[in-house]
A and B are shown apart, each in its own frame.
Chain A
């Protein structure tokens, strides 16, 4: 079984500017992969090379074993794409756009079903040039879904969508993944990637700074957890005892009168046991994990 996407040592230079710098990446079939990075980090350049819209300066890319440059039509037969910076066809309605996608993929079907799925049924017979940004995005998403593609490539899919639209798109992405599709999508918004991705790649200044599961990234970036504990007893000796434990960074009292402990993820229980041994009753416990945002900032800072 060939990987869904295989990117091997790919570099793209525009003149003296290096947009993508020696990127290696492999995505297995069935994964949902989130491609994270600031605008201009090189995400779209990588995607455009998968589509053969631009050609790599060095290295090669393949989709389901088909080389994206020498065999690009075959590669694109596997894909459903929501590209970045597209324009719609003048003079064609939403229905005709989906029809064009069906003809292009050589599949039969009723365009309305797909327009229905993305929620723009009522606009099907209007010229797509008159659509709002969000409706256009939904229409092109419907075009990407044509023919149950093996691989969905979505470049900033939720841009222009309102929160409800973004949520329903996430739901469709998960449905498609359930059906067996591999999903590769880019975003500069962390929550969206966190919500659906199995693995995340962070692009920064043309380089792939990190690739891991979200959990793995957390561990790598320190993996620290903050415990907020409500107790019946907040005397200093107890706090000092907790702070003295291995793998506890610091312990203190918050403004709300809780015990705050920053520690490694798997020392949570040790903290609670220590309190219990000292006869301190734990009334309530909440944990805060480092957000992906923190990780992202951490990573991009580190690779500078």
Chain B
């Protein structure tokens, strides 16, 4: 595995070189910056907590979508268009392709979100607000983790099939399931578990853990712990009163798993297929 920097560099050049790529990147960064522009107009002495409160609803859709869109064509798009045939005619391994793309696109995601959030934070800080450094770092870190997780899932999906159309269907199906539907399913889980006599009135902690193990739910839990600790009512988080595995720390690790496992799974799948 020595060719991944070359693959990553070429990937970044390609993303930045295309018009849709540039537009998408600019749009995401701009959303985060504009949050910092709008919050101070409605709140006096704004902080990162206000910023999070204002922008979380948007970020919960935008960041997963950005990650998935960056990832889902990474392998299958190149494969369907024959670009992988060209790349793999050079001394690159299959691992170079998967990890090079993960790192190249991860870097694009990193820069986009970092620039957007730092820009937003600067507008919060100046002239009247106050941005605590630890909250800013936590917010930035959590949002990056969320983005990387969906990027990894997107890249994993793109190794599963040779058909671009099928990959698109998988991706949007997954986006709908994870980001749109999953957080709303608390009631169904409760009814189901009650029917099985495993719960009464509210979800047991283990069920909250399972339900909350989806990346966007984990993201909420991390933010509720480290950025907006006064908001303890949202679905998966029970605050410091809950068991340890429902705290923010383990949620960070779980998000890390959402980055690692899909990447490795995607690589293993890709390694054994014919182009």
Residues of A within 8 A of B (CB): 48, 51-55, 72-74, 76-77, 79, 81, 83-92, 96, 100-101, 103-105, 127, 140, 143-144
Contacts and interface: CB of A to CB of B under 8 A. Distances in A.
A101 B9 CA distance: 12
Interface residues of B, number: 25
A84 B86 CA distance: 9
Given A53-B275, A103-B9, A91 B89 contact: no
B18 A91 contact: yes
Given A87-B85, A88-B86, A140-B86, A100 B6 contact: yes
B103 to A, nearest CB: 15
B275 A54 contact: yes
B192 to A, nearest CB: 41
Given A53-B85, A87-B86, A89-B83, A104 B91 contact: yes
Interface string B75-111: 0001001110110111111000000000000000000
A104 B3 contact: yes
B275 A90 contact: no
Nearest to A153: B89
B21 interface: yes
A83 B89 contact: yes
20 contacts: A53-B274, A55-B274, A73-B93, A74-B91, A76-B90, A76-B92, A81-B89, A83-B85, A86-B83, A86-B86, A87-B82, A87-B85, A89-B83, A91-B14, A92-B17, A96-B13, A103-B10, A104-B3, A140-B86, A144-B89
B15 A104 contact: no
Nearest to A14: B274
Given A85-B85, A104-B90, 19 more contacts: A51-B89, A73-B93, A77-B91, A81-B90, A86-B83, A86-B86, A87-B78, A87-B81, A89-B86, A91-B15, A92-B10, A92-B13, A92-B14, A96-B10, A103-B6, A104-B6, A104-B91, A105-B91, A140-B86
B17 A76 contact: no
A93 to B, nearest CB: 9
Most buried by A among B78, B81, B88: B88
B73 to A, nearest CB: 11
Contacts of B6: 100, 103-104
Contacts of A88: 83, 86
A161 B105 CA distance: 36
Interface string B1-22: 0010010011001111110010
A89 B90 contact: no
Contact of B82 (A55, A79, A85): A85
A303 B86 CA distance: 34
B85 A100 contact: no
A53 B90 CA distance: 11
A77 B93 CA distance: 11
Contacts of A103: 6, 9-10
Contacts of B86: 83, 86-89, 140, 143
Nearest to B22: A91
Contacts of B275: 48, 53-54
A113 B212 CA distance: 58
